[in-house]
Structure 1
Amino acid sequence: MIKPVLALSIAGLLFSPAIKADTLLGLYIGADAWRTSTEGGFANTDKLQTLNFDDKTQASYYIALEHPIPVLPNARIQHTPLTANGSTGLSSNLSLNNTTFLQGTDIKNQVDLTSTDYILYYELFDNSLISLDLGVNAKYIKGDVYIKDTITGVAAGESVSKILPTAYAAATIGLPLTGLELFANGSYMTYDDNTIYDVQAGIAYALVDNIAIDVRLRAGYRAVNIKLDNVDSLYTDIDFNGAFVGLELHF
């Protein structure tokens, strides 16, 4: 008799939405400080070479709204600057906006993009032990890249503005009696020779957890890759990777 009762109790914890789900509206607001290491390159052709970029700390912000109406998706918006600059001695010719920078030229290179995610998702599970979300993301990549010859001062830039549809998934696993959660989420898309992924994973600790507000300290690792194939005449293959720490408020 004990085993069936125990099994039913565990199943109730896993699949009951009453423990953690928002009965009216749940608002999540978060901000992260992300220390990025940037690798890759850009050009007007697919002949890319690796450019040097300095590490940089940049911020990421998000807001999400969840509700109890099953047929309507929840919504999340996340905004992340993707910026980096550095100096490179070119190992081969590089073309940008009808300007060719010759092999051996010392250049200043800069990438200044923003990534804004417009996500609609459904909660498949939502309780104190496990949550799982699936949805779609319209990832809006906007900004420019820039190169300047350090000797002659000749410069060239190229702009890009594109909405790229991606799949979205998120999962959280609670660690009972610890105040800790493991979390992971990400977006992914690939078609033709274009690839976008934006994934992160980490651990969160509940600093405040009551009926009015939850405050969680988050830390983890995030990786973003933007590989564009002739999008607005631009080719890129750039990785942004690094650790982050942040706070999340849940009302």
Structure 2
Amino acid sequence: MSGALSGLALLSTTAQADMLGVYGSVDYWNLQGEYNEAPQDASLRSADSLSLDDKGQAQVSLAFEHPVPLIPNGKIRYTGIDVDTEEQNLAGDALYNIDLDSTDFILYYEILDNIVSVDVGVAAKQLEGDVTYNSTVGADKVEISETAPMLYASAGGKLPFTGLSAKAELLATNYDDTQITDASAEIKYNFVENLLIDLGAKAGYRILNIELDDQDGFDTKFDFDGPYIGLEAHF
């Protein structure tokens, strides 16, 4: 009897452990896009957008999932963006340099978690950085500091017995003169799957559109997009 009880306890512990998960990923995002900056004074505005140089950027994320009801799962995603415009000033320097850190703090619930998965929740996107205008007489900076509440959703599916899966993810807001859309879609192949770790390679495409009003007296608009590749581990 004691052996049977011990076996049941071990089985219960194993089943609960299977419901606990930590997901970590590191990606290389080949970013491109456009930048537009307009003074708050409408009479001085220009509709011209400046193209950005293609440049690789790092994006990392860490998520924790658990079986406790009513308490949401958590995810943090960070992207560091440091890119120049293609246009140059008379001295040959980039006309604008964009140095922007984007950090997402996400709380979500798993609505489905099987062959098909669906997550919904809320998030806060924190943007910190600056845009430097390089003129022939010096440099001027527009400081960026914004935290926006967002809605979050993701959906995915697995192809059984193949290691292949696909996922789409969306963060969006239109709040207090701030409009942000952050969308991505990817496919992944798990080349390691065992009781200790699942490890997969992935490839996808991400679009990040940001419109911010009145940043140091300027309205700023960023349109970033491009493919990415990366690795994801599930412990």
TM score, norm. by length of structure 2: 0.85
Structure 1 residues 237, 24: CA separation in 2 closer, same or farther (over 3 Å shift)? Answer: same
- Residue 98 of structure 2 corresponds to residue 68 of structure 1: no
2:126 matched to which residue of 1? 140
Residues 205-220 of structure 1: pairs in structure 2 closer than 5 A: 205-220=189-204
Q: Which runs of 5+ in 1 are unaligned?
A: 1-19, 91-105
Once residues 59 and 132 of structure 1 are traced to their aligned partners in structure 2, the CA distance between those partners, rounded to angstroms, is 26
Whole-angstrom distance in 2 between the partners of 1:210 and 1:164: 39
What runs of 5+ residues in structure 2 fail to find an aligned partner? 1-14
Instruction: Give 2:180's aligned residue.
Output: 196
Report the Cα distance in structure 2 between the residues aligned to 1:176 and 1:75, rounded to whole angstroms. Answer: 26
What is the match of residue 93 of structure 1? none
Which amino acid counterpart does residue 120 of structure 1 have in structure 2?
L
Aligned to 1:156: 140
Per-residue CA deviations over 1:185-225 (Å, capped at 9, x if unaligned) read 11000135421011100100011111110001110100000
* 1:84 aligned residue: 83
1:31 matched to 2:26: yes
Superposed CA RMSD in Å reads 2.2
Distance 2:190 2:56 in 1: 25
User: Which of 106, 113, 126 does residue 113 from structure 2 map onto?
Assistant: 126
Compared CA separation, residues 41 and 173, structure 1 to 2 (3 A): same
Identical columns (%): 41
Q: Please tell me the residue identity of whatever aligns with 1:32.
A: D
**Structure 1 segments (4+ residues) deviating >4 Å:** none
CA contact (8 A) 1:144 1:158 kept: yes
Instruction: State the Cα deviation string for residues 30-57 of structure 1 (Å, max 9, x = none).
Output: 0000001121212433624211321100
**CA distance, structure 2, for counterparts of residue 22 and residue 186 of structure 1:** 29
Q: Is the contact made by 1:22 and 1:68 (CA closer than 8 Å) also made in structure 2? A: no
1:177 equivalent to 2:129? Answer: no
Flag the 1:22–1:39 CA change in 2: closer, same or farther, 3 A.
farther
Change in 2 beyond 3 A, CA 1:50/1:21 = farther
Equivalent residues, number: 215
> Match of 2:67, SS?
coil
Question: Would the aligned equivalents of 1:137 and 1:166 in 2 still touch at CA under 8 Å?
Answer: yes
CA contact (8 A) 1:22 1:66 kept: no
- Native 8 Å contact 2:186 2:204 kept in 1: yes
TM-score (norm 1): 0.80
